[in-house]
Structure formats: structure tokens, C-alpha cells
Amino acid sequence: MGMYIAAASDNPWVNDAVAGLDSGNIYIDPSVSGASSLQAELAGAVPGDGSIAIVVLPAQADDNNEYANQVLTEIARSSDQKTIVLAVGDDVQATSTVIDADEALRIANESETAAGGNTPDALVATVQQIVEETPTSPGGGTGGGADLLLPVVIGGVVIVAGIGTAIGLITRRRRKKPAASADPVPAGIRLRVNRLRELRADYAALPGNPVAAETAVGIDALASHVEQLFVRLDAKAGEDQSVLAEAEYSDKLARLVAALDRDYLLDLLTRPDLWDAPDERVGEVREALSAVTTQIVDNIKQVNARKGLLFQVSLDSLIGRSELRDWERQFKKSAGE
């Protein structure tokens, strides 16, 4: 994903946020409604050691991005804080280098859902839970842990005094922690994602071939988006939506794996002289990869907006290739399906 990101972002909201975090651990864009009061409300919610930052941006800051969580990724890449908790409109996100980034995002998604639309509450609960999940530094002793938690606890008391929900939210999440450790990505989808990542390495290792390099980037984006979709479905949507998405993408990802495998697209790129209509075949696979990725990004946005999932990609061109149908069946058989 990093290949998309330049040293300075094309997104002015990101640049303003990064500049704001240079002088403090909370940045709220001035265009956000009630920015001043929100700043005061969140002031006690972050630890004083500078490890965690809260950023609040208007919803339009996420318009026209190439991939999910692009704003969060760019802010985190350019900021000194190890954990970024971000609200873009009412969508709460988080990433971290002190705990697993996917776990940080899961915490943010669950906080947003449990807060019932109260963004400040979700932000504070996300910070508190990430602090709880952060490993204690070796040799730091219990005193250091208490010092780290103190400003967060103080911030939590301020919020609870006003809205009375943050402590209950933390308690409920603790009770749910064993279930939350399970992979939200269904087993069959996980097999396909793992295979995509193996193939990405093959394309990235092909020297002097720009199509292979672009394909490697595209595969990486697809795999990450698939994971994001199911993480967010697990946190924000009903089970029926997750089942629907699994049914939709089991076949499509298996078909893409077959098309991207060493025996097809990779061979087309290295030995086009051995294939009929190689340019047409290469174009079909690249178009399919782009179409599925675009649909998954749209699905992520639908989940964020609490809308039902819509599927419009058919991959007709790949279905028409008999050799791909055979390889797709072989993949499913090896996966025990």
C-alpha cells in the first residue's frame, strides 16, 4: 500500500492534520462543528507521553481516495505518534505500531458501534482500550503503567460525567475479548487472501516488467481491502451481510487466484509467444482485478454508511476461459471445498 503514498499528501486535510500533530496530540479541523468544545472534551483523553494522537476531520476529507483508510494511513506515515485514532465524519478508525494495526482498527470499529453515533465517546473508548492492550515496557514496573493510564482515566471520568457510557462500554468489551480474538475473515476467504499474497511476491520479483509491478501493487491492495471488508462487517454489520459477502467473494477470489496464478497471467507476461491473443488475455485479468477491488472498496463504504451490500461485478470474460474454470476447480478442491 505504501507505493501509493508520496512524501507530501495530495489531500489538504491530511497535510493540515500532520502539521497540527507536530505541536500537539489532538488535531480537530476548524471546519468540524463544535471544534473548540470538542477539543476541550478530548483534552484529557490522550496519554501525556505523546504516544497516541486523536484527529477529527470532516466527512469530505475521505472523498475521492484510492483505497480504504487512505487518510489514516497517510497521517500515520507522516506523524511521530505511534497510535493514531481518527474520526472522519462519524467513521472512527485507528492504527498503531505498538499493537497490531488490525486489532487497533477492530477496537475503533467496535467503539463506534457501541457508542451509538456519539463520536467523542467512541474516540475516548478507542484510546482507552488501545492503552489497555499496549504491552508494558520491559523494566517499566507497575508504576509506569499507572502513569500511562492516569490521563486516560481522567479523560474517561470527564466524558462519563457528561454522557455516562464510556465505563460501561469498556466493561462490555472486556467481556467480549475472547471472541474478538478470532479472525473476522472467513476461513475460505483467508485461504484466498493468503494465496494472493504469495502470488504478489512472484509478480514483485519479476524484473523489468511494469505490468508485473502494477499487478503486484494491485494484488496487495485487493488482499488488504478484502480483509478490511470482513473486519468492518464483523464490527458493524449483521451476520447475514457477512455471509452474503463470503458467498459473493469465495467464487470471485477463487477465479482471480486462478487467473493470477503462475500458469496463467504470470506465464502470459513471461512467455507471451506461447499463447494465443496474449494481450487480450492480460487485459481481461487486469480489468477483473481492478473491477473486484473497486467493488470491494464500494462495499466497505456501504458498510461504513450502514447500507446493504451491492454486487455488480460478474467477471464474464474470465468465466469464458475454460482453462481458468479448471484451475478454479482445482483451487477449491485443494482448499477442501
Query: Within a 13 Å sphere around the CA of 96, how many CA atoms are in the beta-carbon half?
Result: 26
In degrees rounded to 5, what are phi and psi of residue 10? -80, -5
- 3-class SS string, 217-257: HHHHHHHHHHHHHHHHHHHHCCHHHHHHHHHHHHHHHHHHH
Residue 32 grid cell: 468540524
Angle, helices 119-133/35-42, rounded to nearest 10 degrees = 30
Each domain of the chain, given as residue ranges in start order, spans: 2-180, 187-334
Q: Are 242 and 309 in contact (CB under 8 A)?
A: no
SS3 content of the chain, % helix, strand, coil (to 5): 65, 5, 30
CA 204, chain centre distance (Å): 22
Residue 138 CB neighbours (<10 A): 6
Candidates 238, 220, 232; CA nearest to 300 is 232
Residue 182 grid cell: 478470532
β 26-28/52-57 pair status: parallel
Q: Please list, in sequence order, all residues whose beta carbon lies within 8 angstroms of the beta carbon of residue 229, skipping any fewer than 6 positions away.
A: 245, 296, 299, 300, 303
Q: Please list, in sequence order, all residues whose beta carbon lies within 8 angstroms of the beta carbon of residue 102, skipping any fewer than 6 positions away.
A: 227, 231
pLDDT in tens, the chain (337 residues): 333 334 456 788 888 899 889 888 999 998 888 887 788 778 778 887 888 999 999 988 877 666 667 889 889 988 889 999 999 988 999 999 999 888 899 899 888 888 888 898 889 989 988 988 888 644 333 334 434 443 444 344 433 433 444 444 444 444 444 444 478 899 999 999 999 999 999 999 998 999 999 999 999 999 999 999 999 998 888 778 889 999 999 989 998 999 999 999 999 999 999 999 999 999 999 999 999 999 999 999 999 988 889 988 888 777 667 667 665 566 556 666 5
Tell me what pLDDT residue 143 has.
39
Q: Give start and end residues of each alpha helix (H) in 95-140.
A: 101-115, 119-133
What DSSP designation does 137 have?
P
Q: What is the pLDDT of residues 89-132, one digit of tens each?
A: 889 999 999 998 888 998 998 888 888 888 988 899 899 889 88
pTM above 0.85, yes or no: no
